[in-house]
Structure 1
Amino acid sequence: MLTLTRDTKRLTIVVIYLLAFFVIGAGLYLAFKPKPTCFDGQQNQNEEGVDCGGICAMACIETIVGNDPLVREITFIPADRGRYDIVARIFNPNNDIGASSFRYALLLSDASGRELSRTTGTSFILPQETKMLLAFNLEPDQIPAKAVVELSDFQWTRLRDYRAKPELNIYSKRYVERPDQSVFGAMTGILVNESLYDFRKIRIKVVLRDAAGTPLAANQSEMQTVTVGREQDVRIVFPQPFSGAVAQVDAEVEADVYDAENFLQQYQIPKETGRSGFDYGGPGL
């Protein structure tokens, strides 16, 4: 017959009491456990987030964080009478995330990094877009050594059913020196809106480059009421002389698709035309 020692008996009794306490405690917890609700600060039931989505009336707000744009170019150009222009190009590496708004600063500094002059602005950028940022007539107190671009405050937005950026193209681009007595030169071309939308306003940015791609001069202008399919003459003037021979005309056309008021009318293009479109238009973003 098996005989338990005194220590073994004590251990057995302790284990039995602990098991009993656990069973009673678990029973009381299950009996008085509050039912999950949409206000308990926890993600339960079939909620898609904490107290949102699923059976909860409040929709979940997606937190969208995009990868920072890459700086592809930043340089300055001598302008007139000690003034300088800045040319920057940034690239958004995100596939379906754009920024409806962001802040930028373009500045000039000396060799030690001391800031000499700056200008600021706001812009937007689409997924996979390369965007040009320009600044004009900065007046530092000495000859600058370099230009710097600073980017901040990105309002990231996921574009639903995103296909392509607006098809705003300039054909027959050319630079003409001294087209008349009033200006040093001008870029001319034909703008065609090959998108599915009439736009209220667009901005055209132009950088003239030499054979090596170095910027020689820059300017920009706006056009109003750009309708689908219509050919419109473009003329961007360069009033002040600059040095170097123009070999390339770099032109960028942008339309703010995040601004619902910038859309005047949408058109449906039949599929057999083969023209690609995009799903923009304020509420569709």
Structure 2
Amino acid sequence: MTSFQRGIKRVAIILVYIAIISVIATALYYLFRAKPTCTDGKRNQGEEKIDCGGPCAKCEEIPKIENIQILQKALIPAGPGKYDVLVKIKNPNALFGVAGLDYSLNFLNQEGIIVEKRDGSSFILPAQTKYVLEFNIALGEKPESFVFNVRSFRWQKFSESEEPNVVVYGREVSLPGSIGEPTQLKAKIQNRSNYDFKKVTTKVVFKDVEGMPVAVNQTDSNDVRANEEREVIFNWNTVLPKNIDLQSIEIEPEVNAFGSENFMKKYGSPEQYQSYDVDDAK
């Protein structure tokens, strides 16, 4: 056997050993490797994205969520140097609400300089239109304008959209017969839902004949049971405008359903999505 033939034989033997080792290594890899799962944080079994799609659960699409809309603003005299604020907002999303809606009110003078600021917090349910009210803000002179800003918050998804069923009826308005007597509004609310609520906030808006808000108020009713009826009473110690339209009074019961465990068990969903500043440029 020539030296060339011996070299060929050695190469052949080496290749055979390499092939055998490769087969054994491959077999051991597939024998002992962890099987792909839908929770391993890898896209390794034909998923559309990591751990979803294909053999795994359907990938959830990031929903298109619209910003909260500001429908109306009003600055209402509430005594010497004091003002109440009304902001009407709308949530156009049918299945998304916000539990912690933090906002700020910036009051501006003629030069656009902030002369006073107030922060607050509210909430908004899916497809809800509601009033945000602030009371007795000491401003001295009436500001030129104010800006309502909603800061960052998280949307929470609902499986269904249904507002708590609290109704208003039996309203009675008592206008003052003489100077110094308060204006009073009485009404009844009833919780016609199947849930008890820790608090029902009832808001009222008086408007003039042109439809502009001229007086606001609110009161809280605590621990309102299912099907329970309560009387709510509102008093204004300041003199209200004479051109109030008694036919256009709005009374709005409001329930923070996020605080009702039973309500959220039925309608709530664990998905949450970040949102950001909503600026009122008006």
Is TM > 0.5 for Structure 1 vs Structure 2?
yes
After TM superposition, the structure 1 = structure 2 runs for residues 1-285 of structure 1, keeping only pairs within 5 Å, are: 41-45=41-45, 49-51=49-51, 66-162=65-161, 164-178=162-176, 184-247=182-245, 248-260=248-260, 280-282=263-265, 284-285=267-268
Cα 1:172–1:39 shift into 2, 3 Å = closer
Structure possessing the higher relative contact order (Cα contacts under 8 Å, 6 or more residues apart) = 2
Higher mean C-alpha displacement, 71-80 vs 195-204: 195-204
Aligned match of 2:12: none
Shift of 1:146: 1.6
Shift of 1:127: 1.3
Using the alignment, how far apart are the partners of 2:132 and 2:145 within structure 1?
A: 16
Using the alignment, how far apart are the partners of 2:266 and 2:140 within structure 1?
A: 47
Q: Report sequence identity in percent.
A: 30
Cα 1:200–1:40 shift into 2, 3 Å = closer
Equivalent AA in structure 2 for residue 191 of structure 1: I
TM-score by length of 1: 0.71
Shift of 1:108: 2.0
Cα 1:216–1:244 shift into 2, 3 Å = farther
Q: Which runs of 5+ in 1 are unaligned?
A: 1-30, 264-279
TM-score by length of 2: 0.72
Cα 1:62–1:158 shift into 2, 3 Å = farther
Are the aligned partners of 2:208 and 2:214 in contact in 1 as well (CA < 8 Å)? yes
Cα 1:107–1:61 shift into 2, 3 Å = same
Using the alignment, how far apart are the partners of 1:244 and 1:188 within structure 2?
A: 19
Are the aligned partners of 2:208 and 2:243 in contact in 1 as well (CA < 8 Å)? yes
Using the alignment, how far apart are the partners of 1:142 and 1:188 within structure 2?
A: 32
Equivalent AA in structure 1 for residue 43 of structure 2: Q
Cα 1:81–1:220 shift into 2, 3 Å = same
Shift of 1:253: 0.9
Aligned to 1:281, the other structure's residue is in SS state helix
Q: Deviations over 1:63-100 (max 9, x none)?
A: 66631111000110111111111100000011111112
Aligned match of 1:6: none
Q: Which runs of 5+ in 2 are unaligned?
A: 1-25, 269-282
Between the two proteins, the alignment pairs up a number of residues equal to 238
Higher mean C-alpha displacement, 201-210 vs 139-148: 139-148
RMSD over equivalenced CA pairs, Å = 3.4
Shift of 1:60: 8.4
